[in-house]
Structure 1
């Protein structure tokens, strides 16, 4: 893989403490790569540092979100391969070559998967483990790190899904599930994510609630009927059990039993309609 076809994109929000060191390593290793720093409304001198270091700087007039910065960088990138990584010192530029080696093997997207030692907290470890297992069940393929922001991807394929990507931190989840749904090849390599320099922009409660919505997004992006079908079966079994209980104790079919059976049917129909909408969405993309 030649560096002339490579664009390295770093979303940045007040990362003056780590940005210069990260860019120094990148320019030393990939002198001919296009390095793009997307300043998402920083209040410090991050943009000035990036300009001085020779990076292509794109500035948002106000904070739009990590996903929005990713989309801005992807639209401006000219390389055939896009590298997305954090500007806070967590990701090692030396690992980029390992990502590119997997791309050379024929994969369409390669993700740097963090191990247990790289998780910022026990809560984050638990949440990421849950998301990984849920997503793996949905796609029936092992997903080592659903939320990692360190990845290499073929630019042409990534840009197909820009309109699907959210403006928030959940963009890695969305693009991963979109690639699996489209039948593109996704690979994972283990990495060590270092402790970030500076203050994290993730808020536990706010982003915790947001990430709970990712659970439903995973299902609706990939296979809605699988998610809603499972919920429907659960409600149907609950309804059947409740009906059996009331029949043997009271000898009748209660209103609650009817509600549970109706709920099971409605959830199944919602899944069926969602499946058709999702299929139309991806057909339009193709």
Structure 2
């Protein structure tokens, strides 16, 4: 199998100085692609100096956009995605590749509690993992890990779904589960990042991460989100009707509104389910 390693990088010259030599030592024959996402430091020069193929963007387009550019340009049968900031140890790539050889289409390096950036991020990721596990019916150990190996042809099926921002791991994972492509999780330790702080800002990206929760549901199986919501509206409508009928002897507008909302939400869920099915329809 030909292997291509894709590393999105924004101002990661210091991290690449350590990561690229270690990567070459582990995979001397692999194609290494560094996608320079509008860096203002020597990221591109350092990558080229260590023999990596550099794809430079004139301005920052986002982590997901860098992943998509790298995936399109890569020539390998297997794509390995990893961060350029030193958090991911290239020595663990072989563990991911062994899962691919065993028949999985995606292998994800799963961080433990100690591998989270902070307590808040760890709590948010725990919520994402639980929600994704419920939606898919499979144990999701780390929904947002950017360290993963995938079969290139399978991954490229979903490039049109991937956002340009930071939630590409979420989207790609749910897409693989939805399409019945097996996913494996490999526990890995994560080192402290090198260089500048995280590009994720809590205030700027907080709402974006909150929307990920709803995206997880609508991306995989909308009815699992809409049906319980419709049921709650219906239950409230019937309960309110029972109370007003027993106390006032009438059917109120509020009961009608909630029962109507239950029907509308359920129908929206049915339509969304059909749209989702068409989205994941494979075009050969």
| TM norm. shorter chain > 0.5 | yes
Cα distance in structure 2, aligned partners of 1:196 and 1:245: 58
Seen in structure 2, the aligned counterparts of structure 1 residues 208 and 285 have a Cα distance that, compared at 3 Å, is farther
Q: Match for residue 190 of structure 2?
A: 193
Q: Match for residue 207 of structure 2?
A: 209
Give 1:64's match in structure 2, choosing from 36, 61, 64: 61
Deviations 1:39-63 (A, max 9, x none): 0000111000001111000001111
Cα distance in structure 2, aligned partners of 1:187 and 1:285: 25
Q: Match for residue 37 of structure 2?
A: 40
Deviations 1:233-269 (A, max 9, x none): 1211222222222222222221111111111111101
Indicate whether 1:105 and 2:85 are aligned: no
Structure 1 residue runs without a partner (length 5+): none
Structure 1 runs of 4+ aligned residues shifted over 3 Å read none
Deviation at 1:149, TM superposition (A): 0.4
Q: Match for residue 164 of structure 1?
A: 161
Q: How many residues align?
A: 283
Q: Match for residue 183 of structure 1?
A: 180
Q: Match for residue 254 of structure 2?
A: 256
State the superposition RMSD in angstroms. 1.1
Structure 2 residue runs without a partner (length 5+): none
Deviation at 1:178, TM superposition (A): 0.7
Q: TM-score, normalised by structure 2?
A: 0.97
Indicate whether 1:174 and 2:194 are aligned: no
Q: Match for residue 243 of structure 1?
A: 241
Deviation at 1:284, TM superposition (A): 4.6
Q: TM-score, normalised by structure 1?
A: 0.96
Seen in structure 2, the aligned counterparts of structure 1 residues 285 and 228 have a Cα distance that, compared at 3 Å, is farther
- The alignment partner of 1:141 has SS state of coil
Cα distance in structure 2, aligned partners of 1:221 and 1:62: 29
Cα distance in structure 1, aligned partners of 2:237 and 2:126: 31
Indicate whether 1:137 and 2:141 are aligned: no
Q: Pick which of 148-157 and 206-215 moved more.
A: 206-215
Q: Match for residue 11 of structure 1?
A: 8
Give 1:228's match in structure 2, choosing from 220, 226, 229: 226
